[in-house]
Every structure is written in structure tokens, then in C-alpha cells.
Structure 1
């Protein structure tokens, strides 16, 4: 008398072992894929976790998320330099494809800003030589809507030992007056839209007219475009999305001026 096998036909023990090995291999392969470091230097599994945390959580606690990200063995430097900017880019991409509305993207950006603040507070500044500390002004031009990128740059500069001020949505006249009064060593413009380039060009021109020597003028951000064309169009000294580049440029400028 035969009986139905609810689990299918009986297999040879060696066959089951092969199936289990294949399944285990597939699981390991998937896990390894998730651990792969992408072109930005981020592990995808950690980046995905951060994006979910800022999008889906009802009660968002920046301190708790920061602690949870530590389970991925991420330094706070990596969060500031890589993971928070990449998560912000992901939110922007979701908005561009209409998978998230503007309100949800704004909430996510604010949460990333809170996480940035928590991470930055825990980092000691590099004040090895307080006599040569550099003063920086980070500018989000008038009518620009972004702020997270400028905050990331400010945190990076402070970590490098700079004294940093941030100007958000001030008029060209206000920015020029601030530069003339504060005399920063470097001014960094954060640019997200092509429309802001003309405003930046006019501001750069006025700063150069009022200062001798003028501070180091740099341009970065989502629309900076690492090209000589952008640098020449706006009149800045360099175009970069790396804070260290600007600090290095300003340090060399100071040494050159001091040797005269």
C-alpha cells in the first residue's frame, strides 16, 4: 500500500546534502553581494539600512540610529563623509522618479541632518596648531533649497581643525559684507542647481574686488561639475567636493603669501 509524501518524492541523502549546500552557497553569495563596497566606498547593506531608518521609522531617534549604525563597524567619519551624503542622494533620486513626494524627502533630509549633528558632536576637532587655524565660510546661495551638503562640508572642515561659519540664503550684498567683515581664509559655495552659477559668479567677482588678497574661493555640490569650464565661468580658484582639497589649497596660499 502506497502513501502520499506531502514533502514530495523521497530523495537520496546525498541529494539532500547537495540541495542544502547549494542553498547555503546561494545565501552566502547574496550576503557577500550586500557587503560589497560600491564606488562611493559605502557598503550597500549599511547604506540600505540608513535609508530605511530615515524613511520608514515613525519615531526617529538620531542618537539611536547612530548607535545602530555602529553595529556595522562604521566610524563617525565614514558616516559624515560617505553614508549621509549617499543617503541624501538616494532620497533625491526617489523624488526625481516620483517614488517619494517632496514632503517625505524633506523629512528624510531633516533626519539625516539630525544624524549628522549627532555624529559631528562626537568627533574631536583637529587643533594641532591653533596659531595657524584656518577660518572658513560655507555658503548656500540665495534661493537655493538645499542645506545638508553644506552641513556635511562644515562638519568635515571642523574635523580638519577649521573655524567654520555657514551662510544660508543670504543676499549677495549680505555675503560680500560678511566676507569683508570676517575676513575668512576660504569661502566655499555649495551649488545644487545650474541657475545658482550666475549668482555665484557675481558674488565671487565682488569678493575679489573688495579683498586684497581675496580668500580662497571654492565651488562644490551636486551641480559643481568638476570641470575647468565651471571654474572659469564662476571665477573660483577650484571646483571640488572634497574639503581637504580646499584646506590644502588655502594652506599653500598662506605659505606663499607668508614667504613674500
Structure 2
């Protein structure tokens, strides 16, 4: 297991302050760097939000195309606008201003927007040949899978090969870890999950291979648990909500594409 003490200071800085209506924010939360938030165009935000709540799924496709035509970068839509809308829907639900059915439909529409933005992000087609592999898993909590999907697209755009398992079972994780040499396992965990459930899953990861990869826990569980508690009580190597820090803690570079281009002289 990697030496946790060398990263104590960095890990403590990774713990965010508890946000208002944090329960609802698990709709979008996975690993997220709140310090890097983009200043959003309110008109674009409201159009996307209205489309997410519209019964007609065609509206989601149309609003994405319109936003791209207006010059909004697809990465900004994926990394900032869509997660912000998901957090807003979760907050409205917690304040009883939006029903559960509406939130469910909204989350589904936002996932459809992600697919519309980057169909190639949904697979490893963007990975650099020979790129390090990362396993990203979400336990039994369907309400924060959008955040994991956003994180998957971010990592793939950096050049990584990413295997995403949603609502994973222990046997699926064991099979994956034993058959693939992952350079890191990221677990997106919500505040509603227990440390014991995390411990059981991490134990599966650590015992499925002779050389287990480092395990990083992220998500809204960091709203209610400290880094020290998570690492000490679950067996995780690290805990952070910042994607770039998770990569660093696993000894991985920030951008595989840039390294490949530099080696190729382009």
C-alpha cells in the first residue's frame, strides 16, 4: 500500500466544505474540483435546465446543438454546465420545489446531453495507445452516476483508458482487477453510503491481485467523513474530490495526450 503520510497535508486540503442541501448534490457529485468552476452564462444555463426538465427528449439534443453553435465549448458544457444543473435539480428536490420524478427525468436528460456532446467519450476510442488504465466504480446508488460519467469523460479526454462500472457487484470488480493491470481504482461514493460497504469493496480490490492498484475514494461522502476516517476504516489509500489530485496520488501524469505529443515531436 502506498505511504499515506507523505500526502496527509495534500489530502486534508482536498476535503471540501459542506455545501447547503448537500444531499441533493449527490445527483452530480463524483470527484469534482470546485475551485476550478467556470463563470456560467445564465441564459445558456437556463436553456439547458429547461430542456433537461422538458418531457420531450428532443429538446435536450436541440439545446446542445444550439449551445455549440453559439460557441460554447463541449468541454465546458460537460464539465461545468451539466454538473451545475444536476446540483441545482438536487437542491430544488431537497427544498421540495421539484418532485423526485422530475429529478429522475432531469438526470436522464443530462446523461443524454453528455452522449450528444461526445459520443467518442463513451468509449476508450480517445485513449492514447498503451495509455494507463483506470477503473472507476460506483456502488449501489443510482443518484450520483452522472458525476461518474462526467469524470469518465474528463479522464478519457486526458488520454486515459477508463473502465466505468455503475452499480457494481463485488464479483465484477474482482474479475476486472484480476484480469487488467489498472494503475488506479477510483470509487465514487455518496454521503448515504457506509464506510463498511466501502471497506468490503476495497477488500475485494486488494485481495483480487498480488499487486493491487492504489484506491482513491471520492464523492459526497467527503461531506460527512474525514480523509483520515475513510482511509483508516476502509483500507483506501487516498480520498479526494479533485480529479487531478487523484491522478497525482496514484503517480499518474495529468495529461497523457500532451506527453504523447511531446514524445512525437508534435
Fold in common (TM above 0.5): yes
- 1:79 paired with 2:77, answer yes
For 2:173 and 2:142, the matched residues in 1 are separated by 14
- Are residues 1:40 and 2:30 paired? no
Q: Which has the larger radius of gyration?
A: 1
CA distance in 2 between counterparts of 1:237 and 1:120 reads: 32
Label 1:79 to 1:241 Cα distance change in 2 as closer, same or farther (>3 A).
Answer: farther
Call closer, same or farther: CA 1:195–1:206 in 2, change over 3 Å: same
The structure with higher relative contact order (CA 8 Å, sep 6+) is 2
Q: Please, which runs of 5 or more residues in structure 2 have no aligned partner?
A: 1-34, 254-266
Deviation string, structure 1 residues 138-197 (Cα, Å, up to 9, x no partner): 111135543211111111111111111111222223322321222322211111233243
**Shift in CA distance, 57/199, structure 1 to aligned 2, threshold 3 Å:** same
Gapped regions of structure 1 (runs ≥ 5): 1-37, 254-260
- CA shift, 1:39, in A, is 7.8
Aligned mate of 1:146, from 140, 144, 147: 144
**Matches of 1:101 and 1:218 in 2, distance apart?**
33
Partner in structure 2 of residue 245 of structure 1 = 245
1:182-232 Cα offsets, whole Å, 9 max, x none, are: 232221111123324321122112322333321121112233348423333
Aligned mate of 1:190, from 188, 209, 225? 188
- Aligned-pair CA distance for 1:126: 5.8
State the alpha-carbon separation in 2 of the partners of residues 159 and 39 from structure 1.
Answer: 17
Greater Cα offset, 65-74 or 154-163: 65-74
Cα distance in structure 1, aligned partners of 2:168 and 2:207 = 19
- Give the TM-score, by structure 1 length: 0.71
CA contact (8 A) 2:135 2:186 kept: yes
- Structure 1 CA distance, aligned partners of 2:144 and 2:106? 13
Change (3 A) 1:177 1:52: same
CA RMSD of aligned residues (A): 2.7
| Aligned pairs (5 A) from 1:17-56 | 40-45=37-42, 46-56=44-54
